[in-house]
Chain A
Amino acid sequence: MTVDKNLLLQFLLRQGDNTLILGHRVSEWCGHSPVLEEDIALANTALDLIGQTQMWLGYAAEVQGEGKTADDLAFLRDAWDFRNVLLTELPNGDFGQTLMRQFLFDAFQSVLMGRLMGSTDETVAAIAAKASKEVAYHVERSADTVVGLGDGTEESHNRMQAALEYLWPYVGEMFESDETDAAMAAAGIAPDPSTLRAEYDALVTRVLAEATLTLPESRYAHKGGRTGRMHTEHLGHLLATMQWLQRAYPGCEW
């Protein structure tokens, strides 16, 4: 079954923009972590995410067919063209907020990548196969840290609970479905995200219980990132930094 090229492009941008924007956020920690081992681990996570971005956006550019590269997509689009979920663009906050955000995203990726490995699109399946190894490690590490800090001292517990409450309203967007998702599901390229929620909730509930943290009751979801309808104010600043050289000195080789 053939799929509308523009819808496939939207799907690929959603994948690549998630990893691009979160990778950028994580890279902001470099040299400022609580302990040297965490500096190394965060740099490693950022590096994996940037590597996944190169694959997703590389394929997106190919599907787009306008002779652009992954770099063109990363550095020369404005905020409204980005398709990442809002969760990934939120500021780092303290180390606890960064690791909670990472866990909530990694848990989603771990469920999604498992399914994408069976995609009817060979390139998608191949990217997912490579990414899934990294994602498996990421979710193990971020879950362990969430548990360690949640079930640590009173202060670390309180900080993690506050991080969870701040971030939880951004979780629901990952499971939204629209015509792009419907088309991907119909073509067997990707699952409808809404079908991933039960598995995600089971994983998150188990880890948060072990972390002695309380899952907020509200299921209210902020959205607008993956459709591009309305990002947070934070994305523009991130792009201003990330894209500055390419914008200030257009057309250069680096």
Chain B
Amino acid sequence: MYAQMIKTAHKGVHKREDMSPEERAFQDKIDADIKIEPRDWMPDDYRATLIRQIGQHAHSEVVGQLPEGNWITRAPTLERKAILLAKVQDEAGHGLYLYSAAETLGETRDELVRLLHEGRMKYSSIFNYPTLNWADIGAVGWLVDGAAIVNQVALQRTSYGPYSRAMIRICKEESFHARQGYHAIMKMAFGTPEQKKQAQDAVNRLWFPAIMMFGPSDADSTHSEQSMAWKIKVKSNDELRQQFVDQTVPQIEYLGLDLPDPGIKWNEERGHYDFSDPDWSEFFDVIKGNGPCNVDRLQNRVAAWEDGAWVRDGLLAHAEKKAARKVAAE
């Protein structure tokens, strides 16, 4: 997952009569569900919007290593430690695919990383919440990756070919993570009273942040229309959120945990669960940088980058020397 509040690079939806012939042909392809490929003509705004979305998604994968990495050294068994390491390694790999997808649009990874570190690009709000007990690791896999999958399954149909293909690959791994996460929290929920307490605490804390991952409600989502017309986005925030709630509530019930929101109730007429709105002021605070972990997360990433500068410089210098020696020998 994990792109939220992506500003389309201009306001409103382009009207067909205002389109250039190239743009009209482009829109026809989109409407016919033909993927756009890197060398195809595309409107500047489409390119810019995609770079923002894919870049934010990539940053989320990379920053997302931190809350889970927080428990790798405390994982309670060798198997759990191996599973968690493999998962976090997968996330870093997703970051790589996505940065590569952004590169096909002409934006380098270094530039995107620079924008992140300067606070000019974001990552998903969810990673600004802490992981406080071991059950959080199960809950993150189950709820956070679960929410990501709902979003990303939809994005498999996105109009930009490299992004769509990255999503197909990523979804397979995310599904695996969600199952492993659920399995981990099952052990906690069905374990000792103390373990169950941890599981309940994790669900209570992470429920609303998880449903915030889909972004603000459609009524307040000002940037969606053009993204929908371009099929960068294929389902609305509220549709995706409802789908997530519908699939997750029975899973919470199966665990024998209390529902984290007293407003959750099956609505026979709608054929969906009703649920309470999250506190959107909290969401906007987190987006603005005031979440519980924003400062620490970014500082950690910046420190990793700055402390590693000598390594990158050293390896680059060696590669240049090696290439020069090869030329000299020829």
Contacts and interface: CB of A to CB of B under 8 A. Distances in A.
Interface of A: 20, 24, 27-28, 30-40, 43-44, 46-47, 50-51, 53-54, 57, 70-71, 74-75, 94-96, 145, 147-149, 151-153, 155-157, 159, 241-242, 244-246, 249, 251-254
A157 to B, nearest CB: 8
B148 interface: no
Nearest to A94: B307
Given A40-B96, A50-B82, A74-B78, A31 B69 contact: yes
B72 A30 contact: yes
Interface in B292-326: 300, 303-305, 307-319, 321
A43 B85 contact: yes
B194 interface: yes
Chain A at the B interface: SS class: helix
B195 interface: yes
Contacts of A145: 315
A95 B317 contact: no
Given A50-B81, A254-B77, A31 B307 contact: no
A39 B190 CA distance: 34
A145 B310 CA distance: 13
B11 to A, nearest CB: 35
A154 to B, nearest CB: 9
B276 interface: no
A148 B69 contact: no
6 contacts: A30-B72, A33-B304, A33-B308, A43-B86, A149-B314, A242-B73
A241 B78 contact: no
A153 B73 contact: no
B290 interface: no
Contact of B85 (A32, A47, A95): A47
A145 B315 CA distance: 8
Contacts of A27: 72-73, 81, 85
B313 A156 contact: yes
A253 B194 CA distance: 12
| Chain B residues touching A, range | 35 or more
A35 B191 contact: no
Contact of B311 (A30, A156, A157): A156
Interface of B: 62, 65-66, 69, 72-82, 85-86, 88-89, 92-93, 95-96, 99, 109, 134, 184, 187, 191-192, 194-195, 300, 303-305, 307-319, 321
Given A27-B73, A148-B315, A148-B319, A47 B304 contact: no
Given A31-B69, A71-B78, A253-B187, 18 more contacts: A24-B73, A30-B69, A33-B308, A34-B305, A34-B311, A35-B312, A50-B82, A51-B82, A54-B79, A74-B78, A75-B76, A95-B308, A147-B318, A152-B315, A156-B311, A157-B314, A245-B134, A249-B194
B321 to A, nearest CB: 7
A127 to B, nearest CB: 15
Nearest to B320: A152
Contact of B78 (A36, A37, A44, A50): A50
A95 B72 contact: no
A238 B134 CA distance: 18
A47 B311 contact: no
A50 B195 CA distance: 25
Given A32-B304, A94-B307, A253 B191 contact: yes
A155 B309 CA distance: 11
Contacts of A36: 62, 92, 95-96, 99, 109
A96 B92 contact: no
Nearest to A96: B311
Contacts of B95: 36
Given A28-B73, A35-B308, A147-B318, A40 B92 contact: yes
Nearest to B80: A254
Nearest to B71: A245
B74 A242 contact: yes
Contacts of A96: 311
Contacts of A38: 308, 311
B314 A155 contact: yes
